[in-house]
Structure 1
């Protein structure tokens, strides 16, 4: 496996660049041409990347923020996203990954801005869990959740309520986005937390003893009204398919989504290997081929029982579309020059 330093976006000195025949003026002109190429593309490309390492009431993670930095550099330098259209929500950003912060960012950055034909990416790296969903039409009465940094747990008789963002809410938010070119990447799971060898699992305890909070239920009702959907219509849509676009999950049901502790850094095993693969492949091909290759890499590199999966909107040809619904803007690479230092 290549070292992480090869994938970092490294700084070259002016003397080294001169030795390569690249003057500062040439570098500046090439950068300007690249920026113009991005700006001249017709439709907009928006991304919201959420990474949570620090939690108030549950075990912390270490690699979620690394994930979203890897994803951002890939989207910007390989797929032509404008950096100003890529919003990071993390412990280190101005917008914190609280429940309110995540939902508000999704509404304002994606739902309010995306137009038909635009490209949208939503990435979540953090803890996952499950809650009991009494009105579910799915095979299981358990609904997957995404745990915000300020997760609140309250006792409700023999059960507990949690302020997690549920899969049902994510379905509603996806439905509200005005473009079909939507990719959701979820690097979390709900198969039980803790450590597995040299891997940290991105999951915390959940199940039938946990219910969605009243805050979550009220938020869902707000979007049901906005989308003019009845609870029954929503249940049927969820049973039939995802809301739109493509959803990529880092692990199957009852599998772990692991963090890998590598040489000097921690990252999500799935996000690291997928971004690495997309950087290096000249023609990654269909999404099923991409996921199959990444799955093999996870098993070979980390010996993890983790098999990523994906789902596309039923009846669509989204599985035949380019990854992220976006043609690659630059050739394959292992690094990108983002800053020049003169010594």
Structure 2
């Protein structure tokens, strides 16, 4: 089996104040790398880890683009692609006209920067970009995606955006100005997430997506016995080692999130067959 994995984890951001930095994202990326190597047979050379200043928009999106190019190239073949990202989620105004609430879901890279009232699209990965990339996925290639970010800000209140007393920090950064927040805070907004884009894709093959939370929730960056991780990633990596089906894995993760009083609920987007087979297994 020919494999490729890209693990992205960003704690520090070039243009954000330290108060907006995170603690567990780099650990997430390194922990996924270790699990892929020890539990799923990935060779070290097949895993790319991008953290902090190395995890720019061009580097992260470029690496995934190259992987899809390889998957489609004559004489080349990839059986299994893994993409994981631990970072801040955010929003920016929709320019393609495909979002009912006029905002796009986006994932912050190290070089996140402001452009006018909103974030610069060239400094983050937009849901539409990932959707278009995955639309090139050829039949027979398995793509497993793990996103440990907040995927929407449409229903987040002010209290959701500050650290809590038990050292949990939300993985969401709001648009940089009040004007840029207008769409994100629109009354009754129903933000579409990457999960929705995957579900409705007409591509020959679709990725299997594990997401840290629902669109109306925050994903927690949390302290576990003195070491930080995303709460979702922390429990997911334990569950993946059980060898259970993807459907059972998501149940295990959510049971642990509930037991530890995390409000977020992890999400799984996959076909019925994908849910009934183990993570990393073609179907």
- The TM-score normalised by the length of structure 2 is 0.79
After superposition, the C-alpha distances for 1:85-131 in whole angstroms (9 at most, x for unaligned) are 01101127xxx1111111222223x2233355601110000011012
1:67-216 correspondence runs (5 A):
67-91=28-52, 96-108=54-66, 110-114=67-71, 118-155=79-116, 159-163=117-121, 164-178=124-138, 179-189=140-150, 190-191=152-153, 193-197=161-165, 198-206=167-175, 209-210=179-180
* Conserved? CA contact 2:70–2:78, under 8 Å: no
**Greater radius of gyration (CA):** 1
User: Please, which moves more after superposition, 270-279 or 202-211?
Assistant: 202-211
Deviation at 1:273, TM superposition (A): 0.7
Deviation at 1:62, TM superposition (A): 0.9
Asked whether 1:295 is paired with 2:254, we answer: yes
- Picking from 210, 226, 251, the partner of 1:264 is 226
After superposition, the C-alpha distances for 1:168-188 in whole angstroms (9 at most, x for unaligned) are 001112223445311111000
User: RCO (CA 8 Å, sep 6+): is it higher in 1 or 2?
Assistant: 1
Asked whether 1:276 is paired with 2:234, we answer: no
Structure 1 unaligned segments of length 5 or more: list them.
1-42, 212-235, 328-343
Asked whether 1:318 is paired with 2:277, we answer: no
- The TM-score normalised by the length of structure 1 is 0.66
Structure 2 unaligned segments of length 5 or more: list them.
182-195
Secondary structure of the residue that 1:254 maps to in structure 2?
Answer: coil
Q: CA RMSD in A?
A: 2.6
* Conserved? CA contact 1:137–1:239, under 8 Å: no
Deviation at 1:265, TM superposition (A): 1.2
Alpha-carbon separation, structure 2, partners of 1:154 and 1:124: 23
User: Alpha carbons of 1:203 and 1:165: their partners in 2 closer, same or farther (altered >3 Å)?
Assistant: same
Deviation at 1:138, TM superposition (A): 4.5
Deviation at 1:290, TM superposition (A): 0.9
* Conserved? CA contact 1:182–1:325, under 8 Å: no
